């Protein structure tokens, strides 16, 4: 209420349109007397970043950026609606879909990019809306390596596409990896093995992409995608990296590319997340990445200034054992990492975490510090709000959505 007794709704800042201003960040617990807050809904500080609860939206590729014209790789109103609908309903933070550091780093012609400033400015429109709700948002930076230039997965096949379909699978020098080994021989393209000079150029592209994400788009943090069989993951695993120079062979050499990227983009003013496949799920194969390797790598992360390790699994090996998609099936990987690193590193987990009870017990029992939800949020963008209800917690949704559920008292 203003001084003259009139009720005027203030507008959110940094938006070119009217939107009611929030004073309490969406996702914050509304405390009640004699109530113990479940740990899932307690705040957490990550470097300079304060999040109101431990629930994050996991990166999910949407295949919705233009594949031709002068707006290739740019986000559209779809992305604003997609991420905005989640921001209105209470997550602790959002990580946007893997965004390519270069045109050939996209997984499909319809993937998003941040290899130029124009793309970053379009992302800023989304970031500003999410921030208007007091929600934190980060960008996942990626390069798909030897799994590049594929048809969007909503076509329900894994097939490379060439120039006649806006792809680049028929341009040999644009399909790259640490070694000339196809992810799926006879189906996917054999990549060109990178030279040391080309590796260093890629480190520079990650650096420039991170600067655009933070300085132009205004993201709160960045995440390096080093999982799921994409370029960095290709370097980490001995099944896909057969190099004999300083980027292959020993553990130290195979992790060098990732650590150089970390050193190139980390900053004092924003947190750095890294997503890793905790295991390749192919322990019977020589050189396969195992959980023991992830534990060893987590020590390097601590030394190099990583703030959060985001533990997923698989994706690098077509001979991997098929993981059953049972609720919380990847939590044991995060738990192993958390046991190893203790409080020296924040650990997040994923993997069909389908209930408030499972999510809360994961953080209450110290198996992970953060819980990420992916596919379930496509069905239900308000999953954090639902989980709060399930645990008997009131959280702050957007002003527009909250008042019917928490109405004012009537005189």
Residues 324-371: pLDDT tens digits?
889 999 999 999 999 999 999 999 999 999 999 999 999 999 999 999
Q: Is residue 324 part of a domain?
A: yes
378: which 2 tokens? 């496509």
Residues 115-131: pLDDT tens digits?
999 999 999 999 999 99
Location of structure tokens 């341009």: 171
CATH number of the domain bearing residue 263 = 3.20.20.70
Q: How far apart are CA 218 and CA 373, in angstroms?
A: 23
Share of the chain above pLDDT 70, in %: 98
Facing residues of 276 across strands? 226, 311
Band of residue 7 on the pLDDT scale cut at 50, 70, 90: confident
Facing residues of 113 across strands? 100
Q: Is residue 79 part of a domain?
A: yes
Q: Reduced to 3 DSSP states, what percent helix, strand and coil does the chain have, rounded to the nearest 5?
A: 35, 15, 50
Asked whether 359 and 353 are in contact (CB, 8 A), the reply is: yes
Q: Is residue 289 part of a domain?
A: yes
- pLDDT score for 33: 66
23: which 2 tokens? 């004073």
Rounded to two decimals, what is the model's pTM?
0.96
Q: Is residue 156 part of a domain?
A: yes
Q: Is residue 287 part of a domain?
A: yes
- pLDDT score for 1: 46
Instruction: For CA atoms 55, 276, 168, 139, give the dihedral sign.
Output: positive
Total residue length of the chain: 411
Checking if the pLDDT of 41 tops 70, the result is yes
Q: How far apart are CA 56 and CA 37, in angstroms?
A: 18
Q: What are phi and psi of 372, to 5 degrees?
A: -105, 140
Expressed as residue numbers, the domain containing 173 is: 28-396
Q: Is residue 236 part of a domain?
A: yes
In a 3-state reduction of DSSP, which class is residue 269? Answer: coil
**DSSP count for the chain of H helices, then E strands:** 12, 12
Task: Read off the DSSP letter of residue 104.
Answer: G
- Total domains, the chain: 1
- pLDDT score for 255: 98
Q: Of 94 and 407, which is predicted with more confidence?
A: 94
Distance of CA 290 to the CA centre of its chain: 21
Strand 44-46 vs strand 192-193: parallel, antiparallel, or unpaired?
unpaired
Q: What are phi and psi of 310, to 5 degrees?
A: -100, 105
Q: How far apart are CA 372 and CA 390, in angstroms?
A: 17
Q: Is residue 1 part of a domain?
A: no
Active site residues: 225, 228, 230
Band of residue 184 on the pLDDT scale cut at 50, 70, 90: very high
Q: How far apart are CA 290 and CA 194, in angstroms?
A: 24
Q: How many CB atoms lie within 10 A of CB 408?
A: 6
Q: Is residue 411 part of a domain?
A: no
Q: Which residues, including other chains, have CB under 8 Å from residue 286's CB and lie 6 or more apart? A: 238, 239
């Amino acid at each position: 209420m203003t001084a003259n007794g009139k009720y005027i709704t203030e507008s959110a800042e940094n938006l070119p349109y009217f939107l009611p201003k929030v004073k309490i960040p969406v996702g914050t617990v509304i405390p009640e007397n004699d109530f113990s807050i479940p740990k899932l809904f307690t705040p957490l500080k990550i470097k300079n970043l304060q999040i109101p609860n431990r629930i994050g939206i996991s990166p999910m590729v949407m295949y919705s950026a233009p594949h031709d014209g002068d707006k290739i790789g740019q986000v559209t109103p779809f992305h604003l609606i997609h991420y905005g609908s989640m921001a209105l309903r209470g997550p602790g933070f959002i990580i946007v879909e893997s965004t390519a550091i270069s045109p050939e780093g996209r997984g499909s012609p319809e993937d998003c990019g941040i290899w130029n400033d124009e793309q970053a400015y379009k992302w800023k429109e989304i970031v500003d809306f999410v921030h208007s709700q007091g929600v934190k948002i980060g960008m996942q930076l990626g390069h798909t390596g030897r799994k590049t230039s594929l048809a969007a997965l909503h076509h329900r096949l894994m097939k490379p596409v060439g120039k006649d379909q806006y792809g680049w699978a028929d341009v040999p020098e644009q399909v790259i990896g640490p070694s000339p080994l196809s992810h799926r021989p006879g189906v996917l393209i054999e990549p060109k093995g990178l030279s040391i000079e080309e590796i260093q150029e890629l480190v520079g592209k990650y650096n420039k992409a991170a600067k655009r994400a933070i300085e132009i788009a205004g993201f709160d943090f960045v995440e390096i995608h080093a999982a799921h069989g994409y370029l960095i993951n290709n370097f980490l695993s001995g099944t896909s990296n057969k190099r004999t120079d300083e980027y292959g062979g020993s553990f130290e050499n195979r992790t060098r590319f990732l650590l150089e990227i970390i050193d190139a983009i980390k900053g004092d003013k924003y947190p750095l997340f890294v997503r890793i496949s905790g295991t390749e799920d192919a322990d019977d194969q020589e050189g396969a990445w195992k959980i023991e390797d992830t534990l060893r790598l987590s020590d390097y992360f601590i030394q190099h200034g990583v703030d959060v390790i985001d533990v997923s699994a698989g994706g690098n090996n077509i001979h991997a054992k098929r993981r059953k998609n049972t609720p919380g099936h990847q939590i044991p990987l995060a738990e192993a990492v958390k046991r190893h690193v203790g409080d020296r590193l924040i650990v997040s987990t994923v993997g069909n975490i389908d209930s408030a009870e499972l999510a809360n017990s994961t953080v209450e029992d110290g198996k992970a510090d953060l819980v990420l939800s992916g596919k379930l949020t496509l069905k239900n963008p308000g999953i954090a709000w639902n989980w709060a209800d399930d645990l008997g917690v009131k959280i702050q949704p957007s002003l527009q959505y909250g008042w019917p559920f928490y109405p004012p008292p009537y005189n």
